[in-house]
Structure 1
Amino acid sequence: MFAAENGLKGDPRLEAISDAIRVIPHFPKPGIMFQDITPLFLNHKVFKDTVDIFVERYRDMAISVVAGIEARGFMFAPCIALAIGAKFVPLRKRGKLPGKVISEAYELEYGEDCLEMHVGAVQQGEKAVVIDDLVATGGTVSAAIKLLECMGAEVVECACVIGVPELIKAENRLNGKALYMLVEPNEVQGCC
């Protein structure tokens, strides 16, 4: 579900978020239209508005875990966790976490990867939300759900700044979990 379908239709914050995203054609490989969110962080108001929209959504849902997917999910998830009084749990690429971890492999639209989470990072019955910058095929978010649920957490919802509706097979890939998306990908704007 897009934020505009959930009471934010016409919200100028969504347009500003969309306008801040830059398209880099053929990155990281030919045919990929990379949605670069780094310009969003250069405008403190747009960055704050992005976090605020998520905070408004999750503030009253009794969320105790905000899980952020490496790397760009890390830019939003800790801010959201602090604002709603939850803990931040990093979901990292293979070999980046010290100590005992659990792992989940997944496929990307342009390759394969693996997410890991510390054993003991979440407790049985904790309510979690998963945050990433972009969801295209749902593979990464699906791996995140599996990690959290393996440790007994209840994944309430997954969320992203950019959702690619024509690629997302969310109902199948996300085990029926809701996916909350702020904006759709930008069209080609040029890379410079």
Structure 2
Amino acid sequence: MDLQSLIRDIPDFPKPGIMFRDITTLLRDPAGLRYTIDTLAEKTESLGAECIVGMESRGFIVGAPLAYKLDVGFIPVRKPGKLPGEVHSIEYELEYGMDCLEVHQDALKPGTRVLIVDDLIATGGTAGATAKLVQQIGCQLVGFGFIIELRDLQGRDRLPDVPIVTLVEY
């Protein structure tokens, strides 16, 4: 299936000069969504993940059905103040400032085999910070899964040396 044909390009969003790759058009297509989740599952099943970690918010859209398909749990990683319990957190740099991610302290146990997923990898900042967070907890990072990779931004170069699965490259 040609997933790229189901992804809408929106020029100059969120600012001039940026080409936004919009997956909402892929998500509304039942065959495209099914193919996306099935293909990610096929390509990541051998990694032996015990849970999927997805980052707010599009990582939830990809991660939850992938966890269901792989018969493993799903753990959300959120922006500060969104989780009600005690959290582990990590601050990380963005090109325009700092940000923070949090996960419940009881969500992951040391030694858990984790697959991190999101809709897209660009610079690798959010995925890299999430990897550091799960590794600080003592989990074993087994890989990453993304629908889209923006190759020119070289985000994969900023991630740990584990398998990285992508379905569409720009």
- TM-score normalised per structure 2: 0.93
2:114 equivalent in structure 1? 128
1:188 equivalent in structure 2? none
The letter of the residue matching 2:164 is L
2:165 equivalent in structure 1? 180
SS in 1 for 2:91: strand
Deviations 1:147-170 (A, max 9, x none): 111111111111111101111242
* Aligned counterparts of 1:91 and 1:43: Cα–Cα separation in 2: 26
Deviates more, 1:52-61 or 1:36-45: 52-61
Conserved 8 A contact 1:120-1:151: no
After superposing on structure 2, the runs of 4+ consecutive aligned residues of structure 1 that deviate more than 3 Å are 107-112
Matches for 1:1-192 after TM superposition, within 5 Å: 13=1, 15=2, 17-109=3-95, 111-171=97-157, 173-185=158-170
The letter of the residue matching 1:183 is V
**1:146, distance to aligned residue in structure 2 (A):** 0.9
The letter of the residue matching 2:169 is E
Provide the alpha-carbon RMSD of the alignment: 1.5
Structure 2, gaps ≥5 residues long: none
SS in 2 for 1:166: helix
SS in 1 for 2:33: helix
**1:89, distance to aligned residue in structure 2 (A):** 0.4
For this pair of structures, how many residues does the alignment match? 170
The letter of the residue matching 1:147 is L
**1:112, distance to aligned residue in structure 2 (A):** 3.7
1:181/1:108 CA distance change after superposition, 3 Å:
farther
The share of aligned pairs that are identical, in percent, is 41
* Aligned counterparts of 2:51 and 2:16: Cα–Cα separation in 1: 36
Higher relative contact order (CA 8 A, sep 6+): 1
* Aligned counterparts of 1:49 and 1:91: Cα–Cα separation in 2: 25
SS in 2 for 1:63: coil
Conserved 8 A contact 1:76-1:131: yes
The letter of the residue matching 2:112 is E
- TM-score normalised per structure 1: 0.83
The letter of the residue matching 2:66 is I
